[in-house]
């Protein structure tokens, strides 16, 4: 549940020296997170203003109608507004390397996040989930497991509802998906159970390198809760937090707390020597989704969820849109939408989930990633690749003619090419390994365009 306002104000004062009399808070970014922060601050009686670098943030008109007395600065960052502030609440979409933010930090202005505010406002367990890939799936799995266990649970964060909008008096458990951008400005989170599912090259346009990206992810473990670690990931498996309870999971051997074992000639999810359920009962395809299920069970056990209820929730779990989503089977060809695969690691996980070679649609904005890391998996797991988007040429160069490649200017054209080269029994996989914003509104728009193009084949 959320605490009463007096207790919240006391926690904010103790942790961040925030008080309603002397603090002047500047909310940086008028997106969904910024709006959630504004409503939270108004409820508690803080003085605040909002700034956004865009001339017309999409939410500005509706927000101004709801809070007409709130000072709003748009069309660039006014350094004077930053200099007056005592605290900045910076939205995840805004880089901390912005000149105005750097200057403000240099003169002693404190930077906090919406997750910090959230953490100071709850007194029930929080499950926190991050990773380059799979975090939305695992977050949703844990939420469904909590419901099946009879818990009043609120699920959100980077996935769906902003954290501060989740606050509710009847909540018994919060499950948060957190991005590296949220974590890099968060210091107060003390999750009862937390995981870094995996670390692969992503967002290197915002983080200096893979090592600094991994360090931001590791901030999720601050506090004294249970760590859930992927023993198969080279980076995550090396994380150590002395004196902390840790659960490990693996799909490659049996040397972990949660693993895949053989019982009655069937592959099963296992905890120690206990059989939990058969992998065949999982509705989701791919080995990576078995790993996601193990991680979700480990997190659930860490906060006392019922084993049987968790397994039942997994049996009923239908997956998320744009994540290994089967669109159609047409003339023996299976079409799969994995548009959420916005980085190399996600594409690799999707490819490794197949026992036979697939036709891959890839490309978009590589965000500074080295596509040579993707090339061996394409060579091993695909019979052809259709490339589109801003950095298609980078992937083509990395593949170096190891498999046939085709160029497409649009998703419609990409799907038509795949339809021409696919044979009965093949799978066509949209798993771009790149962000979508070079051609689409977001990864959802990209996935929807793929699905529409596939369904037009039926006509």
Residue listed under structure tokens 């998906």: 177
Inter-residue contact 453 to 382 (CB < 8 Å)? no
Residue 6, burial from CB neighbour count under 10 angstroms (0-12, 13-18, 19+) = exposed
Q: Under a CB-based contact definition with an 8 Å cutoff, are residues 27 and 146 in contact?
A: no
Residue 158 a catalytic site member: yes
- The residue from 158, 289, 343, 448 that is catalytic is 158
Kindly name the residue from 87, 151, 203, 396 that is annotated as catalytic. Answer: 203
Count the Cβ atoms, other than its own, within 10 Å of residue 169.
9
Q: Which two tokens stand for residue 316?
A: 């009923």
What's the chain's Rg over C-alpha atoms? Answer: 23
Task: Copy the structure tokens of residue 286.
Answer: 């791919």
User: By C-alpha distance, which of 112, 54, 51 is closest to 83?
Assistant: 51
311-325 in b/e form (b: 16+ CB < 10 A) is bbbbeebebbebbbb
Q: Is 203 noted as a catalytic residue in this protein?
A: yes
Closest CA to 248 of 237, 240, 263, 260: 237
Q: Which of 135, 271, 288, 381 is catalytic?
A: 135
Q: By the 8 A CB rule, do 369 and 201 touch?
A: yes
The whole-angstrom separation of Cα 327 and Cα 127 is 31
Taking the CA of residue 389 as centre, how many other CA atoms within 13 Å lie in the half-sphere pointing to its CB? 29
- Which helix (H) or strand (E) is 384 found in, with range? strand 382-387
SS3 47: strand
Q: Which residue has the tokens 């692969």?
A: 200
Active site residues: 135, 158, 203
């Amino acid at each position: 549940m959320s605490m009463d306002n007096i207790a919240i104000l006391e926690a904010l004062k103790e942790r961040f020296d925030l008080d309603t009399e002397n603090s002047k808070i500047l909310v940086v970014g008028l997106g969904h997170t910024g709006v959630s922060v504004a409503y939270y601050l108004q409820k508690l009686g803080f003085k605040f203003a909002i700034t956004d670098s865009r001339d017309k943030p999409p939410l500005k008109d509706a927000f101004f109608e709801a809070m007409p007395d709130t000072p709003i600065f748009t069309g660039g960052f006014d350094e004077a507004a930053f200099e007056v502030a005592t605290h900045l609440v910076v939205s995840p979409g805004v880089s901390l390397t912005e000149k105005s933010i750097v200057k403000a930090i240099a003169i002693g202005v404190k930077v906090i996040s919406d997750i910090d505010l959230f953490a100071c406002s709850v007194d029930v367990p929080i499950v926190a989930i991050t990773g380059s890939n799979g975090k939305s799936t695992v977050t949703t799995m844990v939420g469904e497991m909590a419901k099946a266990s009879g818990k009043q649970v609120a699920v959100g964060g980077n996935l769906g509802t902003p954290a501060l909008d989740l606050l509710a008096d009847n909540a018994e458990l919060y499950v948060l998906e957190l991005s590296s951008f949220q974590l890099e400005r968060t210091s107060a989170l003390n999750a009862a159970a937390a995981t870094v599912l995996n670390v692969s090259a992503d967002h290197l346009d915002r983080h200096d390198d893979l090592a600094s990206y991994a360090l931001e992810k590791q901030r999720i473990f601050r506090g004294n809760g249970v760590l859930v670690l992927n023993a198969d990931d080279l980076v995550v498996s090396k994380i150590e937090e002395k004196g902390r309870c840790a659960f490990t999971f693996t799909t490659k051997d049996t040397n972990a707390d949660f693993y895949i074992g053989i019982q009655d000639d069937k592959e099963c999810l296992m905890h120690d020597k206990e059989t939990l359920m058969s992998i065949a009962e999982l509705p989701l395809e791919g080995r990576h989704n078995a790993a996601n299920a193990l991680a979700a069970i480990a997190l659930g056990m860490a906060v006392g969820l019922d084993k049987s209820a968790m397994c039942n929730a997994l049996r009923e779990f239908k997956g998320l849109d744009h994540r290994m989503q089967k669109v159609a089977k047409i003339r023996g060809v299976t079409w799969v939408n994995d548009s959420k695969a916005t980085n190399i690691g996600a594409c690799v996980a999707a490819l490794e989930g197949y026992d036979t070679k697939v036709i891959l649609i890839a490309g978009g904005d590589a965000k500074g990633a080295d596509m040579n890391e993707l090339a061996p998996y394409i060579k091993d797991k695909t019979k052809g690749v259709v490339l589109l988007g801003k950095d298609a040429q980078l992937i083509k160069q990395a593949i170096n003619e190891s498999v046939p490649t085709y160029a497409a200017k649009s998703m419609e054209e990409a799907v038509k090419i795949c339809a021409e080269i696919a044979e009965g029994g093949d799978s066509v996989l949209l798993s771009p390994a790149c962000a979508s914003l070079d051609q689409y509104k977001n990864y959802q728009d990209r996935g929807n365009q793929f699905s529409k193009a596939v369904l037009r084949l039926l006509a």
